[in-house]
Amino acid sequence: MGVEDPNNLNRPANNAGIPATNPASEQNPTVGTDEYNSAFDESLARTLDLDTWDLGENLPNLYSRLEREIEEAVEQEDRVRNRIRDEVFPRLRTRPNAPPAAGQYQATPELIAKVHNNYLFTGDVEACDGTIALHDTLPITIAQIGVCLVSYRGDQGSWLHRLFRRDLRASGLDPVDEALELLERRRDRGATGEPSRKDKLSSLLSRGIMTYAERAVLLKRSTAKWRMGHGNPVAYELLTGSGNSDLLRQSLILLDELIFNHKRFIFVPSSTADRTLLTLGAALRPLEYLVYDDMCEKMGDIAKGNYRGESWKGLADQVKTFADEAGRKVLIGAYRASLFSPPQVFYAHADHVHEAALIAMADSALQEHRGFPMLIDLADTVCSSTFGASTLEMAAMVAYRDAESAFTHLPERSTR
């Protein structure tokens, strides 16, 4: 159908530069006085003064301020949008280190219809999404990881794995030694049912394994020509191994296969920290998309991380090499599917970025109010209903009852 050929799409012509992005540093989360005053148009002292707060019963009277602030913010965005279209879009392709495909492009309803009929509705695109449910009590933590694969021709499969974590599995210990060992192991864990930065195993479960499983299903279980995923294909959790060197090694193998061999993938995240890209995306009109940059710099920043210790030996160089090579192959862009929807960010391979953008936009056009791929929503719905928290909680409650401990170990929130 020729969607990979962008010859009929608009291209930028200006050879001027584009301002570099300046993402907020996660290493320095401090907020200065001037920054606070500028952002909120009031001092922190005034915010903390309860005499400036309004009584709850006067809430309807606050609507005028709410209305004014939103109206002014939207008007400002409209002014900026026009300047971005006139001044910034023409510079996308010619700025330093821009990938060859960089620029702004316009699709047509006829082209979107071809994508529907030749790709999406024929089952040539399959999407995957996962969910993780945690049941965390003092005796045991259960992680339920589910992944579902769908297409418009039906459910393509679902996979489930449960991990049962106990702080101590040793048997035959002296009762006193057993108690002391258990206390020692639980010292660095967080509250039951609450995340804890100190608990590396919980972080590995919630961030790493499900992210890996989603991409593994797309690569090894899908048979479609195109694979659609949720998030970023080279997710931070995978490039760091979520703190586990074995997961990092397996992730590099998996991502190498996806990026260098399969190539035909589309990933769309629910959100992004890159507000510069979102601002550019907000200037797009319906059925427009832009190719912004490659992932070389972002992946390179992750590759500078701390890979120390015997188990990480040699991995730092592997990650850096992978980031240099794969980063140039993965492009990032944005699109707007309809007049009523916000822009969405997408990731795709450099060899197929235009085709990928059109597939993502065509699928998103089926939901005018959201402008987000319906296939990802479908995978999420199937996964949540099949492997959601309720399925794990009900099974666990029955097991606790059978163990004659129906409520003894349940967190407070679960019995409200």
For 94-142, the pLDDT digits (tens) are 988 899 999 999 999 999 999 999 999 999 999 999 998 887 777 777 7
Judged against a pLDDT cut of 60, whether residue 199 lies above it is answered with no
Q: Are 202 and 196 in contact (CB under 8 A)?
A: yes
Q: Are residues 209 and 179 in the same domain?
A: yes
Q: Which residue has the higher pLDDT, 30 or 318?
A: 318
pLDDT in tens, 209-224: 899 999 999 999 999 9
pLDDT for 193 equals 55
Lowest mean pLDDT among 129-143, 207-221, 226-240, 316-330: 129-143
380 and 232 both lie in a single domain: yes
Give yes or no: residues 64 and 168 share one domain.
no
Q: Is residue 79 part of a domain?
A: yes
Task: Domain of residue 265: give its range.
Answer: 101-415
Confidence of residue 347 (pLDDT cuts 50, 70, 90): very high
Is pLDDT of 310 > 80? no
Do 160 and 61 share a domain, yes or no?
Answer: no
Same domain, yes or no: 58 and 203: no
pLDDT attached to residue 21: 45
Question: 66 with 123, same domain?
Answer: no
What does DSSP assign to residue 31?
-
Q: What is the pTM assigned to this prediction?
A: 0.79
- 34/155: higher pLDDT: 34
State the pLDDT confidence band at 7, using cuts at 50, 70 and 90. Answer: very low
Read off the pLDDT of residues 390-403 as tens digits, 9 standing for 90 and up: 888 777 777 777 77
Residue 83 confidence (pLDDT) above 50: yes
Q: Is residue 260 part of a domain?
A: yes
Calculate mean pLDDT across residues 375-384: 94
Residue 228 in contact with residue 373, Cβ under 8 Å?
A: yes
Q: Is residue 18 part of a domain?
A: no
Is position 369 within any domain?
A: yes
Question: Rounded to whole angstroms, what are the CA distances from 344 to 99, 191, 231, 274, 372?
Answer: 20, 36, 11, 12, 7
- Residue 197 φ/ψ, nearest 5 degrees: -65, -25
Residue 215 near residue 250, CB atoms below 8 Å: no
The answer, yes or no, to whether residue 23 has pLDDT greater than 60, is no
Chain position carrying tokens 């170990």: 409
Interacting residues of 168 by C-beta distance below 8 A, sequence separation 6+: 178, 181, 182, 185
Q: At which of 91, 111, 146 does a domain end? A: 91
